[in-house]
Amino acid sequence: MKNWIPLLRYDTLTNKRIPDPEEENELPYDEEAFAQTDIGRELTQNLELYRKYSESPMHPEVIAYWEKRGLKKELFDYETEEGKYAYSVFTPLDMKTNKKYAMIYFSHGGGVTINLAETYGFNTLAAVEKYIVVYPNNGGRSNNEVDTEFPRIMETLREKKYPIDWERVYCAGFSSGSEASVCAACTCPEMAAAVAVLPGGQPFKDLKFHTGPDYYASTKGLRIPGIFIGGTADVASYPAPWILDNKKKDYRVHNLDIWMRDIAQIKNYRPLSSAHMEELLANSQDPVEREFGLEFDISYSFHVQGADWLGGEFYGKDGAPVMRYARAIGIPHVVWSSQANLAWDYLKHFRRDQDTGESIYDPVICWGER
C-alpha cells in the first residue's frame, strides 16, 4: 500500500528544504509583532532546550528538565541507521502498576527532529493528565515510513510491557506529521482511537484518498474521529479562503468528501462541491462558514491564550463529535500549548474496542489514566 506522504527535498549544502513550486507560500503576517504575543513568547521559550541540546537528546540536563516536570524520558534506536527509526517515550513518573495509560503517537514536522517535537506542548500535559507520549522519527525527515513504523513501535512497546491502555492510542502530528498521523490511523485503524491533525487541513491538501482507494480502504469500515486545528494564517489550514484560486482544489474537495463520508462517518453527510464551498468562503454571513467553507452541525467562537478562535463540529450517528475544527485567527504555521490542550481534550473521550473495533465515545472521561 502506498501512503502518499510527500517526500520532502533538501539542499545538500545548506540543509534547507527546497520548496515545491506547485505549493502555496506562507501567508503573510507580521513576524515581529507575532513574536511579542503570548504564543510567540511561548514558542521562543520552548525552543531554548532544543537549541541547547539539539545534538544531545539524552543529555543529563534534558533528563533533569523533564523529571522536574514529572516525566521520564527514554530514547530507543537512536544510534542505528542514523536514527531513522529512533523514537522517544515519555511516561509520568508516578505511574501506578495497577493502572493503564492512554498514549499519543506524535509525528514530527517535516525536516525537524523528534527532540524538537518534544517541545510542542504535549509533554507539558502528560504528567498532569496522566498519559504516555511517543515521538517517532518514522523513517526520517518526511515521516514517509510511518505506515510501517507505527505498527512496529506499537508491537515493541507491547513487548516491553508498557502499561498502555490499548483502547486509547491516538495518532497526532504537526505539518508533515499531520499527514503521518492520518496515514498511521488509516493503515492500522484497529490500533488508533482518534487523530489530531495540526494544522487542520494538510492531509486533505496533500494526500490522495481520491486516487488510491486502497489507502483508506484499510480502515475496514472502522470510524476514525478527528480534531483538525490550525491558524487562519497557516497556508496548510484547508479548507480556507485561499483555495479559491488553487488548481488542486477539486481533488482536495474530493479528499475531504471521502474523509467525511467513509472515515469520520458523519451522520448528516452531504456531498461536497467546489462551487458550494467557494460560495460559502466568499459570501456567507456566518464567520465560521466564511473561514472554513463548511456548514457544520454546530459552530462557535472562543478566546484562548490571547487568540480568538473559530470552530465547528460534525456529529456521528451516536452523537459523538466525529470531526471537530478549530482555527486561531491570525496564527501562522506553528504549534503551541493551546493546540495540545484542545487536541487532548478531544482525543481522551474516544476509545477503540479491542474485540469489535468499534469507535466508542465517552463524554465524561477526565484523565489518561484508568
Section 122-136 average pLDDT:
95
Average pLDDT, the chain: 88
Per-residue pLDDT at 199: 84
**DSSP-assigned states of every residue in 119-144:** TSSHHHHHHHHT-EEEEE-TTSTT-T
What is the DSSP-derived secondary structure letter of residue 261? I
Distance CA 146, CA 132 (A): 19
Domains within the chain, CATH numbers bracketed? 29-361 (3.40.50.1820)
Per-residue pLDDT at 1: 42
Q: How many residues belong to the chain?
A: 370
pLDDT above 70 for 148: yes
pLDDT band at 38 (very low <50, low <70, confident <90, very high): confident
Per-residue pLDDT at 304: 87
- What ranges make up the beta strands (E) of the chain? 71-76, 87-92, 101-107, 132-136, 164-174, 194-198, 226-231, 298-304, 307-315, 321-328, 350-352, 359-361
DSSP helix/strand/coil, 7: coil
pLDDT tens readout for residues 173-200: 998 899 999 999 998 999 999 999 998 7
Burial (Cβ within 10 Å: 0-12, 13-18, ≥19) of residue 7: exposed
Per-residue pLDDT at 218: 76
187-201, 224-238, 348-362 — most confident range: 348-362
- Tally of CB atoms within 10 A around 285: 6
pLDDT above 60 for 230: yes
pLDDT above 90 for 37: no
Section 102-125 average pLDDT:
92
Per-residue pLDDT at 24: 53
Nearest to 166 by CA among 368, 365, 354, 369: 354
**Whole-prediction pTM value?**
0.92
pLDDT above 70 for 16: no
pLDDT above 70 for 293: yes
pLDDT tens readout for residues 42-94: 888 888 888 999 889 999 999 999 999 999 999 999 888 888 999 999 999 99
Higher pLDDT, 211 or 233: 233
pLDDT band at 5 (very low <50, low <70, confident <90, very high): low
Higher pLDDT, 1 or 66: 66
